[in-house]
């Protein structure tokens, strides 16, 4: 099947066409630069940018694929989770297109899209695979029984997401939003063992009670306190070392828990997705720990990790192939869509 996928959960307006497992076009417009000076995404600015970009982005995706709307078999759009005002633009636009062209429409879960997209690079999923989703808003370990029908949450962050934790420390260090990529770059030149960064839920009773859960809220406080002490005693802050220690700690916890989850579940494959999986320290650690334990780690190229339309279209193809019923014409957005829900009814 040929599916048009539309994405507008946060600051990317994106559209893509997937045919089977082939990516025929992939267009992303971002309002990221408009938010940089505020230190975070401003929902009203993002919504307006979606409204302006929606039609040109969809037209470009169709044109790049050499198709017209009449040629697609279905349309898929992210219905959640995300910023309500942003979701509303993408979903109402998609409903209008689906109505005008008389196409089935799927309101899909954006986070499950981050898992589905890996098929474009690595092919179909093995049965019973595990998935680690790491992004600005999510950090979760999932058991993927069938990406079109059944996904179980095995573990999740009890507080901040990994990307959020990086963005907070980045702000402390004076990097512009989003700070994750800046930390990544500095970390490559630093000493990962220079300072101690707490590894939440990895020791004692907490580790036993939460074997696959994460906690990153203590990290920012610990790093902030360490920087204050340095400054109070008149020492320079070694930015590269701070970044390297932070990245090493977060990547180690994520990799160990995810691979342990695979072993406990008997899965020999780990799917990785979400914007934070662009992080080079995490990519390195996952491949290393995975190789040590015989788990194949599937991390897509960076352009498929961050938000895009291909992830939405790919999940749409899975839904069409599985014969899942399209969403009702008046399905609502769900800004807090749970990961157990793959498509709106």
Taking the least distance from each CB to ligand ATP, the nearer of 65 and 169 is 169
Q: Does 26 bind Fe ion (CB under 5 A)?
A: no
Question: Residue 232, class by beta-carbon neighbours within 10 Å (0-12 exposed, 13-18 middle, 19+ buried)?
Answer: exposed
What SS3 state is found at 229? helix
Distance CA 331, CA 276 (A): 30
Number of residues that bind ligand ATP (CB under 6 A): 23
Q: How far is the CB of 294 from ligand ATP (least distance, A)?
A: 27
Nearest to 134 by CA among 271, 318, 7: 271
Positions 299 through 328 that interact with Mg ion (CB under 5 A) = 307
Tokens 């220079």 locate to: 194
Q: Decide if residue 279 touches ligand ATP (CB under 6 A).
A: yes
CB of 66 to ligand ATP, least distance (A): 28
Stretch that binds Fe ion, among 21-29, 30-38, 257-265, 307-315 (CB under 5 A): 307-315
Cα 173 to Cα 293: distance, rounded to the nearest angstrom? 36
Q: Which 8-state DSSP code applies to residue 62?
A: H
24/138 with CB nearer ligand ATP: 138
Tell me whether residue 121 or residue 231 sits nearer to ligand ATP (CB atom).
Answer: 121
Give residue for tokens 């029908």: 149
Phi/psi of residue 235, nearest 5 degrees: -95, 155
Among 15, 14, 18, 13, which residue's Cα sits nearest to residue 3? 18
Where is the binding site for Fe cation, in residues? 110, 114, 307
Backbone angles phi, psi at 14, to 5 degrees: -140, 150
Among positions 167, 213, 241, 334, the unique one binding ligand ATP when judged by CB under 6 A: 167
> Among residues 7, 164, 213, 307, which is the contact residue for Fe ion, using CB under 5 A?
307
Tokens (6 digits) for 82: 């995300």
Q: How far is the CB of 78 from Fe ion (least distance, A)?
A: 9
Judged by beta carbon, residue 113 or residue 326, the one nearer ligand ATP is 113
- Report the site for Fe ion in 96-135 (rule: CB under 5 A): 135
Confirm if 110 and 82 have CB atoms less than 8 A apart: yes
Q: Which of 272, 326, 327 is nearest to 295 (CA)?
A: 272
Specify the residue, 135 or 277, whose C-beta has the smaller distance to Fe ion: 135
Question: How many other C-beta atoms can be found within 10 angstroms of the C-beta atom of residue 205?
Answer: 8
Candidates 1, 181, 198, 211: give the one binding ligand ATP (CB under 6 A). 181
- Nearest residue relative to ligand ATP (C-beta): 275
Q: What residue ranges in the chain does DSSP mark as E strands?
A: 2-7, 12-19, 22-30, 74-80, 105-109, 129-134, 139-146, 150-156, 269-273, 296-298
85 binding ligand ATP? (CB under 6 A): no
Interface stretch with ligand ATP, choices 18-26, 44-52, 91-99, 275-283 (CB under 6 A): 275-283
Annotated binding site: 110, 114, 133-137, 167, 180, 184, 279, 307
Q: Is 138 in the site for ligand ATP (CB under 6 A)?
A: yes
Binding site for substrate: which residues?
133-137, 167, 180, 184, 279
Residues in the chain: 345
The SS3 of residue 79 is strand
Contacts of 221 (CB under 8 A, 6+ apart): none
* C-alpha span between 99 and 64 (Å, rounded): 23
* Contact residue for Mg ion among 3, 4, 10, 72 (CB under 5 A): 10
| Binder among 180, 192, 300, 309 for ligand ATP (CB under 6 A) | 180
Based on the shown chain and the rule CB under 5 A, indicate whether residue 11 belongs to the binding site for Mg ion: yes
Residues engaged in binding Mg ion (CB under 5 A): 10-11, 307
Residues found near Fe ion in the complex (CB under 5 A): 135, 307
Q: Could you list the residues that contact ligand ATP (CB under 6 A)? A: 9-10, 82, 110, 135-138, 163, 166-167, 178-181, 184, 274-276, 278-279, 306-307
């Amino acid at each position: 099947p040929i599916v048009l996928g539309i994405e507008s959960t946060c600051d990317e307006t994106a559209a893509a066409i997937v045919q089977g497992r082939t990516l025929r076009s992939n267009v992303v417009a971002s309002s990221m630069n408009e938010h940089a000076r505020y230190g975070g995404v401003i929902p009203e600015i993002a919504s307006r940018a979606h409204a302006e970009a929606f039609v040109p982005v969809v037209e470009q995706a169709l044109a790049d694929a050499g198709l017209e709307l009449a040629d697609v078999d279905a349309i898929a759009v992210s219905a959640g989770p995300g910023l309500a005002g942003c979701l509303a633009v993408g979903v109402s636009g998609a409903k209008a297109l689906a109505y005008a062209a008389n196409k089935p429409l799927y309101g899909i879960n954006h986070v499950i899209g981050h898992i589905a997209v890996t098929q474009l690079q690595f092919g179909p999923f093995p049965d019973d695979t595990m998935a680690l989703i790491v992004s600005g808003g999510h950090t979760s370990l999932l058991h993927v029984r069938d990406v079109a029908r059944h996904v179980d949450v095995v573990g999740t962050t009890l507080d901040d997401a990994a990307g959020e934790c990086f963005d907070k420390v980045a702000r402390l260090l004076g990097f512009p939003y989003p700070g994750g990529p800046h930390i990544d770059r500095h970390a490559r030149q630093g000493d990962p063992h220079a300072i101690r960064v707490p590894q939440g839920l990895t020791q004692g009773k907490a580790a036993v009670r939460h074997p696959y859960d994460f906690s990153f809220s203590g990290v920012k406080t610990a790093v902030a306190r360490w920087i204050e002490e340095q400054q109070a005693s008149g020492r320079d802050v070694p930015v590269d070392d701070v970044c390297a220690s932070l990245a090493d700690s977060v990547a180690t916890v994520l990799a160990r828990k995810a691979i342990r989850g695979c072993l406990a579940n008997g899965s020999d494959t780990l799917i990785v997705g979400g914007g934070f999986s662009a992080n080079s320290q995490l990519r390195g650690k996952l491949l290393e720990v995975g190789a040590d334990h015989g788990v194949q780690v599937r991390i897509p190229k960076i352009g498929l990790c961050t938000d895009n339309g291909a992830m939405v279209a790919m999940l749409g193809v899975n839904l069409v192939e599985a014969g899942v019923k399209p969403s009702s014409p008046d399905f609502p957005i769900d800004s807090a869509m749970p990961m157990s829900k793959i498509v709106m009814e």
